[in-house]
Amino acid sequence: MAQLQQVGNPAQQSGAETNCDVLVIGGGPAGATIAALLAERGRKIVLLEKDEHPRFHIGESLLPQNLPLFDRLGVREEIEKTSMTKHGIEFVSPFHGKSVKYDFARAWDKRFPYAFQVRRSVFDHILLKNAAAKGATVIENCRATAVDFSSAGATVTAKRATGETQEFRAAFVVDASGRDTLLAAQMGFKQRNPRNNSAAIFGHFTNARRLPGKDEGNITIVWFDHGWFWFIPLADGTTSVGAVAPAAFFKNRSADLKAFFQSIIASSPEISARLADAQLAGEVQATGNYSYATERATGQKFIMVGDACAFIDPVFSTGVYIAMTMGFWGADAVEACLRAPARAPKILKQYDSAARQILGGFTWFIYRIREPAMRNLFMSPRNWFRVEEAVLSLLAGGIFDSWPVRARLIIFRLIYYVTKLSHLRFRLTGAPKPQEAPGT
């Protein structure tokens, strides 16, 4: 696989690299995906990446529906060699006194019975090298700082690690800048999500106790009083552990970050037991106010993909899947816009609608994951009308697989509302909720 191109001092270049069909801002999964696909189609692509890969990134758990995307990019074998196989998801609820495991092999679509847990530094580097191998010019240590649009295209101003600035001219711009949300911030499109104003604190541990046998690579979600933990085993023996809770919970801390994280871990008997003999590897980190969306994902001469468009709570490990899917859709949209500029408004409207749909398909469930009614449903799975198989398709990323899946997810929503009404009745009458009795 080709190495990333290192472009030298712009004054020493012919200037050809500063003009392109499409300039991609950001070399994460979304940016690397769309750059590779457009380069395959013969487009002249320049990708600007602010860091140098491999670099650390959180978000290590992938979905089974990522696998066909890897196949289409030609990177599945290399990713598999460096990853931990993930056969399912375990939910642990102290409110119910038990755990429940969901195997992807039982999902509606049986073709994708597993996924991967990845080191994002390695995974993202594979995707970025793939974009370079397919012909994209990848420039690292080069941060895009502003974009100016005109009828002819766009001028992107970027700053190198050396402090030099450079301008790039492109017919079209793809914003894959991740949580930097370059265009959304520049244009005032970014909106924090008031329904899911969460923050996270996380670290990596060695010698954590994992599930036995085939389930060793499963992700575990553990609820606690203020939110939920993730527990993600990685192939190198490290385990990623993080806690997600409302931002206000983190603002009230009085201890330093490490001590605060240790206190949260101590509040969970399940996580405490799994980390009893573990050692923290590296620093504890935190990120706040990370759920947001943009008013729109497109405009004249640009689209947004991945986290540059929106970021939702990661409880279902949707981040990389959504980013790469938007990369595939975005590649089709950009190519169509370049081929038929007169149709661009309609094409971009369709892309924007598709982006909203994939985000909305997950957020209804994510907004409610901390509610007792939703916990009860996840902790007491039933396959009535094949609803459990449809929910497993959701957890695998296959929410648009077929109408039968979508229909059963609607049934699941109806069951949720009935369950919530029953909780309201218990609250009004003062009777106990037997669903949440320990050990049931």
DSSP 62-110: --TTHHHHHHHHT-HHHHHHTSEEE-EEEEEETTTTEEEEEEGGGSSST
Distance separating alpha carbons of residues 337 and 331, to the nearest angstrom: 10
**What's residue 431's pLDDT?**
53
Structure tokens at 289: 């106010």
Q: What Cα–Cα distance (Å) separates residue 37 from each residue in 29, 51, 349?
A: 12, 22, 21
Distance separating alpha carbons of residues 47 and 131, to the nearest angstrom: 9
Mean pLDDT of 149-154: 93
Mean pLDDT of 126-151: 97
- CATH 3.50.50.60 region(s) of the chain? 10-59+120-192+292-363
The per-residue pLDDT for range 341-352, each reduced to its tens digit, is 999 999 999 999
Report whether 311 contacts 292 (CB < 8 A): yes
- CATH 3.30.9.100 region(s) of the chain? 197-288
Residue 401 pLDDT > 80, yes or no? no
Residue 45 pLDDT > 70, yes or no? yes
Mean pLDDT of 196-205: 91
- pLDDT band (50, 70, 90) for residue 11: very low
Distance separating alpha carbons of residues 402 and 420, to the nearest angstrom: 27
Higher pLDDT: 400 or 76? It is: 76
Helix (H, G, I), strand (E, B) or coil at 431: coil
**What's residue 14's pLDDT?**
34
Q: Which CATH superfamily is domain 10-59+120-192+292-363 in?
A: FAD/NAD(P)-binding domain (3.50.50.60)
- Cα dihedral 111/117/121/126 (nearest 10): -20
The CATH code of the domain at 197-288 is 3.30.9.100
Question: Which of 77-81, 122-126, 203-207, 409-413 is predicted least confidently?
Answer: 409-413
Residue 424 pLDDT > 80, yes or no? no
